[in-house]
Every structure is written in structure tokens, then in C-alpha cells.
Structure 1
């Protein structure tokens, strides 16, 4: 078995291009669609005052989780608003602000409320400092230090929690695209590695290996373990790129994701064995694989969340697709924060699928002559 693995890895080192190309394509697709699904709203900002005069105010505006405030020239702000590329722009003034809008939408009101809130806090701080300057018995520096301490070390702390009912759905467009395309593209990587079993049988390589001291189960094990390793490395590599190069933190669950990928990759290896078993030749395999992979991605929620699907037929079909349970594992662990115990059901389903499909695939390959 180790000899088979060694030979496979040497062949990969000689021709790693397919692996690298599919990885890059997956990252590009996930980036493009993830950017389109970002929840942050871009808001350009300008002022007739010097940037130094509004530095503290602008810094306070940038603390928002929903809005991304960007400093620009006045002409650029008006151009973006008039072209409809942003919902609104903001002009910062000394004691007030102005919204530049082309049409009134719900987001315009949210932006106005947020900027008003920031201005109110800044004005309160400003009034306190002005009052201190008028009193000769009070040190302005002491007042500023006290305000800073009050902000950084408040007497009271508030803990914010979200109330979520059992039927509430959370959709994160960015994570949806990353998880979906990662699970989709790895199907091709794994399947085309398993395909070598079919190629080697057709070319008579298996007959020569069987005549050698190596056992048949070791040949199968070497091929399947290699396919599993390559598929797992590809998904892990893609997620590592998103985590450390692009800055997606996965809610601190990256190591959990690595663990949860194991049953999914195992199920896809088993599915690939089954497809290889029913395909009579490479041409049939090349025709069957895209059909099954794309169908599973659509039905299993890799392209769009299953939560928005209302068809009972499609939801029923999704129960028989490994991608469904792979997406469920990742989203429930990362977005909903479910524990490992809560995820035992999808894990067990993937393991069951893997065992059944692998058994059927190997049995079919052993019984049928490969053309």
C-alpha cells in the first residue's frame, strides 16, 4: 500500500497543475460571489473642514459593523451617489451633517440614524470639555482623562445577545459561497484521482500489480487514501487562503471545520468509487461526473442556501445528496455555533453514505470487465 501511495505522490509532484487550477478557480468564484453578498454598506464621506478637525468623528463612524465609511473628495461622493453606486453620501460639518441621496430607501434612514447617534455622542463630549474650560478649578486634561477612562473602562458593561427561535434562519452570503464552492470543486479533484483505477485497469496495470507481492486490497486502499488526502488538502488549503490571506475568520471555528471535513471527503471518495464502478470507460465517466456534481451542488445547497428553497420535491431529493450534509455541518458549526454532539446526525449520514457507496462501487468494479 505504501508503494502505491509513494507512486501516486511522485506522479502528483510531476503534474500538479489540475489540482492547482481547480483550487484557484474555486477561490476566485467564492471571492466574486462572496463580495456580491457582503452585508456591509459602503458610505463615502467628505467635509469642507480640514480632515484634522473631523478625525475623531470620522474614526467614530468607522466603528460600525454594518456601514463602511470611506473618505473621498466632494466631487467623487456626488458622482457615486448620482450613478447609484452607493445609497448615500455624508457631508461632515462642525455641529451637524448632511446626507447626499438620490432616492430615499430604508438604508438611507439607517445611515442617518447611525451618523446622528455618533454626532450626539461627540457633541456631548465636546460640551463637557467646553464646560470644564470655563471653570478655573477644573483641569481640562483631567476631564479628558476621565472621559477616556469612562469609555475604555465603563462602570457598567452591557452584554449583547441575539434572540433566535428554533425556526429562525441565518444566511451569511460570504460563508455560503466559500463553503459551497469548496465542497463543489473538491468533487472533481477526488473523482479524477479515483478515475485512475479505471484507467489502470483498462491499460492492464492492475493485472501486473496483482501478479506482484502486493495484495488487491492494498491497491484499492492506496488509491482511495491518496484520493482522500488530495481532496482534503485542497479544501483545507482553500480555507486557509481565505483565513490568512483574505481575512475571513470563520467565527474562530477553522480547526472545527477541518475536523468536520473528514466525513464529507470520505463520502465523496466513496461516491467517486461508485461512479467509477458504473462507468464502462473514461468517456462515460467524463459525461456522468459533471452531471452528478452540478446536480448535487444545486440540490444540496452549494450554489444557494436550502433555507430559501420552498419545493418539497427538491428538499426531499436533497436528503440523498452528500453536499447537503456537508453544507449543514459547516454552517451549523460556524454560523449557528452548534456543538459536536448536535452535529452527530449529519456526520453519521455521511459515514453511512460513504460505507454503502464504497461497498457498491468496489463490488461493481470487481464483477464487471472494464472495456
Structure 2
């Protein structure tokens, strides 16, 4: 699919003024304040009116999306702000990552802005209130779009027992999710990315597929399962991963998470901070790995493209490389709600 003529991030003066104020604050406090503001019905109504986009329905994974643009996991880890974020026009929202038990995540500070690069580095470490809290919130949602729930393992759970955390979360969220994402690619939980390879990957996918099959029978409803991977995987690693996805009939792959690489920002003050890099500098790597996964998987699993989307043209490029859906996160922080509309318009055939 050829993208339309959008080539620059949308210029939204109103959001730029608000961002200037928020960027004077600690990043994590600004994040929390923004979500609290979005929770106000009057703000939601104003946003929905100002940034409305024409409907662009599409069917992926047997689900009807009102457009191809979604919110990536991480912005709303606990499902506390689903309706508020839905006012921004997303066709789907992914909440989480959620773990079986609540955990505080890594010590603060753990979020850093690289403003001149339109990038972030985070090392949150799956901070969340636990799957039971998220389920309570999800049951109350009014957002009519597609809801994905992103699941992970607790930091104290060994890799050998990781499949138990994932299957437990899958069981808890299954009846409330439109799809479930398995996060094995965060760089901020020690050893987590080892689950992307070899016997550990095979064992995890087999456990998830078995659980999914049992739950589909129990609830008489099939909920697709996606796996989210790192953009740092080599071609050889992708060979093994994609073979496992195909063998286990996994429904979708999300490419990808944040990167541990720093080449594109190596001269920045925060370049040595531990964590995952996201935003505009990630785009070339994310696009390259998306294409690599597409070449290996073809039509045997749906692909969701994430990483470095700063304008509608970036979203259109993801579709051209094989993605059926596109997700935003860091670009939304820098460009605001106009980015959602821009991407919807650019990916509407």
C-alpha cells in the first residue's frame, strides 16, 4: 500500500503549548497528570470533536477495527484510562503490561526524554497493580473499540516458571480481551528476552496455545494471541522465532518493542541510561525488522508494526512492509492527538 503525502509530523499549536508546560515537569509525573486530565469527560468530548477522523474500518484477526491505528501497551499499564484514551480516536487500545501480582517496577528515575531526537528511554520494569486490578477496570470500560491486553511475568518468577505466569494471566483476562499480547521482549526485566529463543520459546508458545484452546472451548469464543518481540533480534534469531510462531499457529506478531541500542543517540546526555529506547530514532531498525518478519511469516500470522511512527507517512510505510495494524506510543507524546488522525487518514485506502 502506498502512503499518502504526509511527510512531516503534524503541527498542532494547541498541543505544542501544552507539551511545553508538561516537558518542564518530571516525565513520569507529567505522564500521570496528562492521563488524569484526559479522564475528565469535558476534555474527552473536546478532544473527540477536535481530532475526529473519518471511519476507516478493517478486519484483522477476525476482529472489526474502526481504523488501523492503535495505542501500544505501556501508556496505560493498569487499564485505568481506557475510555479517556479512546477519545483520541484509536481503532484499538492495548493495555498492560500486566503481571500476576502487583509490582513496583524499577527505581526512579526510570523515564528520560531525549527531546531533540523525539525519543524516550524507559526502564519501568513492568510496574503495575496486578492482573486482578486490571480485570476490574476492563470490566467497567465503555470504549467501543478493540481492546488488547498485554501480559508479562513477575520479576521474581524464574525463566523456568515463566510460562505459569503467562498462562495464569491469559486465563484471567481471556473473557475480557479482544486479543491478548504476550510480552517477551522488554529489556527492563532481567533475562526476559531469553524467552524469544529456543526451547524456552517453544515451551512457552505450546503452553499458551494449549491454554488458549481450552479457554476457547470453555467460553465458546476464540481470542487471538499475539507475541511482541524486540527489534534487536538478528536474522538467525528471527528464523527460529518465526518457525516457532508458525509451528504453534500463533495468531499475530507485534514488531517490535524498544531497543537496547544507542547508536542513533550515542552523543546524548542520557545515552548511557539503562532501558529501552523508543521514538523517531527507532524507526529504521523497527521497519527493517518488520520487513524481515513479514518475509518469514507471510500470511501465516497477522503483523502489527510499532516503532518510530511520527507522522502518517510512517504509519503507511508499516503497512507497505507487511503490517495490517500500526501502534503508536512515543510519537503520541511528542506530536499529540493530531498524530492519531494523521495516521488514520494516511492508512485509509
TM beyond 0.5: no
Q: Which structure is richer in relative contact order (CA contacts within 8 A, separation 6 or more)?
A: 2
Length-normalised TM-score, structure 2? 0.24
Q: Which has the higher strand share?
A: 2
Decide which structure has greater helix share. Answer: 1
